[in-house]
Structure 1
Amino acid sequence: MIINLISSPRNISTALMYSFAHRSDTKVMDEPFYGYYLNLTGADHPGKEEIIASQPKTVSEVRNWIQHTASQHEVVFVKNMAHHLINMNIDFLEDYRNVFLIRDPRQLITSFSKVIPNPQMTDIGVARQYELFEKLRETQSCPVIDSNEVLKNPDKVLRQLCESLDLTFEASMLRWKAGALPEDGVWAKYWYKNVHASTGFQKKNLNPVQLPPECEALYSAALPLYEKMAQDALKA
């Protein structure tokens, strides 16, 4: 089974990858389309050239990499960012079990803007995530998980997620040792400091955050898309 996580950035996607990495039956893959995305778009991300050099740069090569990994493991958990999955025929995703990880766009955009100022919709991928959600749920049930719901009660939400994927829940998904995973992408040094210090899902400060004024239009565009997906999110 290939579980394909389609996430927005500045979410708990890495923690979720760590959670699945500690199952007894699962191999994880960290954003295999990141190099493809950077090579295609030229987006200015930390460690850009190193990331491009570390991964296949075509869709077919990445697909083959995923399939080869899946041939060697019972379950493969692929962490993907929605905005990486562009300029491609997505029919192959129908062969995966697709899971959508969403986050309140006010929190998402505020966090993202601290790393990349004045982000655009193509940077945060919420519109692309919704587009993929609408397309893929035509042919399969696509679980939706909201990071805020996961952090309220990781045990309950992960049990529901496993049930929806026909997997047995394992308590090892809730706790792990601090430190890096061998499967971490080369970009981990720029983005994964908090996850490397963690030993499980960490509750975040959910107090209202101050959205940068220049991001108001982006927030207004992202909010209704998030709210539509949130209607289907598993509840804590």
Structure 2
Amino acid sequence: MTAPPLRIAAWSGPRNISTAMMRAWEHRGDCAVSDEPLYAHYLHATQFDHPGRDEVIAAGDTDWRRVVAALTTGPAPGGQPLWYQKHMTHHLLPGMDTGWVHGLVNVFLIRDPALVVASYVKSRACVVAADIGLLQQAALFDAVAQRLGHAPPVLDAERFLRDPRTQLQGLCTRLGIAFTDRMLAWPPGPRASDGVWAPHWYAAVWQSTGFEPWRERQVALQGDAARAADACRGAYEALLQHAA
């Protein structure tokens, strides 16, 4: 008998450091990763016009209950002792039971909504607050914190990129696992673990060999983009209070 894997669910919105984080965990050597396992269900249910929508639906499992059963009780890919699951909180559609989340070790990745929206509209012109996941993150965070009796780990992208080593060391300590320098650098290029949507979204990550250096960004949003970011500001600031 082998011990069950440590199942780490990292909850993010789009255009964050979520894919680079997935690279970091996969490069440890003892960790399997899953790339947005609920995306096919999300697109099948909403029929939103995302890049590569039909390929995503065809390649994935559109039954969220079956996906969740595998994530929470199935073996980790490759029998690895760690299983890093990259999730988008907006994939948790209204009416979905989220009780299964409490069977995972949950981590929240946040980013200033203005920066998220500015990046998001480069790949998809239309955006509303629900598309970037922060409102859903705040609600899920509250539910997880209430169940735990304390705040789960929160990582803010801007703080993280200023000092990835310290941030990852702190996260690993909280998760009760060893940190390794392998989490800080990886070979460039695509991975078999990348979702089929990667050609539309992962160009920068495919070129990367580590976390990008932090740099100050100034963005100017207008219209729907500005309204989407503004609607998420309060949720972001509430979560930021718990960031390392």
TM-score grouping bracket, smaller chain normalisation: over 0.9
Aligned counterpart for 1:96 among listed residues 101, 104, 118:
104
DSSP-derived class of the 1:57 partner = coil
TM, length-normalised to structure 1: 0.95
Q: Would you say the 8 A contact 1:2–1:97 is kept in 2?
A: yes
Aligned counterpart for 1:139 among listed residues 144, 147, 162:
147
User: How big is the shift at 1:204?
Assistant: 4.5
Once residues 112 and 224 of structure 1 are traced to their aligned partners in structure 2, the CA distance between those partners, rounded to angstroms, is 19
Aligned counterpart for 1:128 among listed residues 136, 147, 165:
136
User: How big is the shift at 1:70?
Assistant: 2.7
Question: What is the one-letter code of the residue matched to 1:62?
Answer: V
User: How big is the shift at 1:73?
Assistant: 2.3
Name stretches of at least 5 consecutive residues in structure 2 with no aligned partner: 1-5
Q: Would you say the 8 A contact 1:69–1:76 is kept in 2?
A: no
Structure 1's consecutive aligned runs of 4 or more residues displaced over 3 angstroms after TM superposition are none
Q: Would you say the 8 A contact 1:119–1:215 is kept in 2?
A: yes
CA displacement 1:150-173 (0-9 Å, x = unmatched): 110000000011111111101100
State yes or no: 1:17 paired with 2:25. no
Once residues 14 and 116 of structure 1 are traced to their aligned partners in structure 2, the CA distance between those partners, rounded to angstroms, is 18
DSSP-derived class of the 1:137 partner = helix
CA displacement 1:49-73 (0-9 Å, x = unmatched): 1100111111221123323243832
Q: Would you say the 8 A contact 2:162–2:214 is kept in 1?
A: no
User: How big is the shift at 1:208?
Assistant: 1.3
Percent identity between matched residues is: 36
Question: What is the one-letter code of the residue matched to 1:33?
Answer: L
State the match for 1:74 in structure 2: 81
Once residues 58 and 20 of structure 2 are traced to their aligned partners in structure 1, the CA distance between those partners, rounded to angstroms, is 25
DSSP-derived class of the 2:147 partner = coil
Aligned counterpart for 1:160 among listed residues 170, 173, 177:
170
What's the Cα RMSD here? 1.3
Question: What is the one-letter code of the residue matched to 1:52?
Answer: I
Once residues 55 and 210 of structure 2 are traced to their aligned partners in structure 1, the CA distance between those partners, rounded to angstroms, is 29
Name stretches of at least 5 consecutive residues in structure 1 with no aligned partner: none
Once residues 150 and 204 of structure 1 are traced to their aligned partners in structure 2, the CA distance between those partners, rounded to angstroms, is 9
CA displacement 1:175-231 (0-9 Å, x = unmatched): 001111110011111111110100000025423111133322222211111000001
State the match for 2:158 in structure 1: 148
Deviates more, 1:131-140 or 1:12-21: 131-140
State the match for 1:45 in structure 2: 50
Question: What is the one-letter code of the residue matched to 1:134?
Answer: D
User: How big is the shift at 1:82?
Assistant: 0.7
User: How big is the shift at 1:122?
Assistant: 1.8
Once residues 215 and 179 of structure 2 are traced to their aligned partners in structure 1, the CA distance between those partners, rounded to angstroms, is 27
CA displacement 1:108-135 (0-9 Å, x = unmatched): 1111122222301221111111110111
Q: Would you say the 8 A contact 2:10–2:107 is kept in 1?
A: yes
Q: Would you say the 8 A contact 1:110–1:212 is kept in 2?
A: no
Rate the CA distance shift 1:24–1:57 in 2: closer, same or farther, 3 A: same
Question: What is the one-letter code of the residue matched to 1:68?
Answer: G
Aligned counterpart for 2:119 among listed residues 111, 123, 130:
111
State yes or no: 1:198 paired with 2:205. no
Corresponding pairs, count: 234
State the match for 1:187 in structure 2: 197
Question: What is the one-letter code of the residue matched to 1:105?
Answer: P
Once residues 41 and 154 of structure 2 are traced to their aligned partners in structure 1, the CA distance between those partners, rounded to angstroms, is 25
